[in-house]
Amino acid sequence: MTARHVETFAVMGTVASAHVIGEVDAARLARALDGCATMLRRADRVFSTYVEGSDIRRMARGELRMSDANPWVAEVAAGCRRFEAETGGLFDAHLPGFFDPTGFVKGWATERAVHEHLADLLLLPGVQAVGLDVGGDLQVRTAADADWVWNIGIVDPADRRRVLATVPLRDGAVATSGTAERGRHVIAPHRGAPATAVRSATVIADSLTHADVWSTAIVAAGDDLSWLPRATATTGLIVDATGAVRRWIDGVTVEVQPAA
């Protein structure tokens, strides 16, 4: 039986789990897992909108300029600008009236933690795959010569016991946004009010940053599907407010299943 190492820890107001598939030296494994946890907690200290002393909260109060903040802030701000253009304004980190990259940071930090702390384990002969899941959004990698496949379940937002689809994935990311877990937390930019037309949007992409931003943007878009031609680097599944399911591949709808 293939060894599977799992480490869970609290971060960003949720639970993270780091996964390593295969045999690995205990000390090397501990360093990799600790590196993931440390990076995510550092990102939380910098970007949290709930911690009064975070860089983001201090900037919102006018106490800190971006040029004087942690260098990660400028990096994330640049990424947010790119995705605002890519999504046609559906993702906007300044929508609350101050810089709030919440829809970007979790995916970005998780993806970065995998690349900087877990990916090197794949160079070891006994390791087949690695992955990091933060609050249900995950980035996975598989060694080139391994036959391991991650099977990712997409659950029904109306019944968390029911799986709508299972996605086989070797290298890539899956992110879900919607109202099922956190309520109406996504703002529709064209209305300036909470988005309610989409219960959940699950996006599959190479990059978790990409998947996370697009899942948020799709919820914000609601029943306006004009974003589809721009989402050419994504595949996914939407459950709307009626329970209807739409699947798309590389920006093209492949199936629409009406509500039961």
Q: What is the DSSP letter of 149?
A: -
pLDDT at 181: 57
What is the distance, to the nearest Å, from the Cα of residue 152 to the centroid of all Cα atoms in its chain?
14
Between CA 247 and CA 229 the distance in angstroms is 14
Among candidate residues 58, 63, 93, 65, the one with its CA nearest the CA of residue 78: 93
Between CA 36 and CA 149 the distance in angstroms is 22
H-helix segments, 162-226: 179-182, 208-221
Which amino acid, 117?
A: H
Task: Tell me if 176 sits within 8 A of 211, measured CB to CB.
Answer: no
pLDDT at 193: 55
pLDDT at 149: 97
Burial class of residue 191, CB neighbours in 10 A (0-12, 13-18, 19+): exposed
What is the distance, to the nearest Å, from the Cα of residue 43 to the centroid of all Cα atoms in its chain?
14
Domain layout of the chain by residue ranges: 4-143+150-257
Between CA 38 and CA 118 the distance in angstroms is 13
pLDDT < 70 positions in the chain? 180-195
Three-class SS state of 202: strand
Whole-model pTM? 0.92
Place of tokens 């253009």: 85
pLDDT at 65: 96
Integer CA distances (angstroms), 99 to 58, 87, 94, 107, 156, in order = 11, 17, 5, 17, 32
State which fold the 4-143+150-257 domain adopts.
Answer: T-fold (3.10.520)
Between CA 14 and CA 5 the distance in angstroms is 20
pLDDT at 222: 87
Between CA 61 and CA 16 the distance in angstroms is 30
Between CA 30 and CA 210 the distance in angstroms is 28
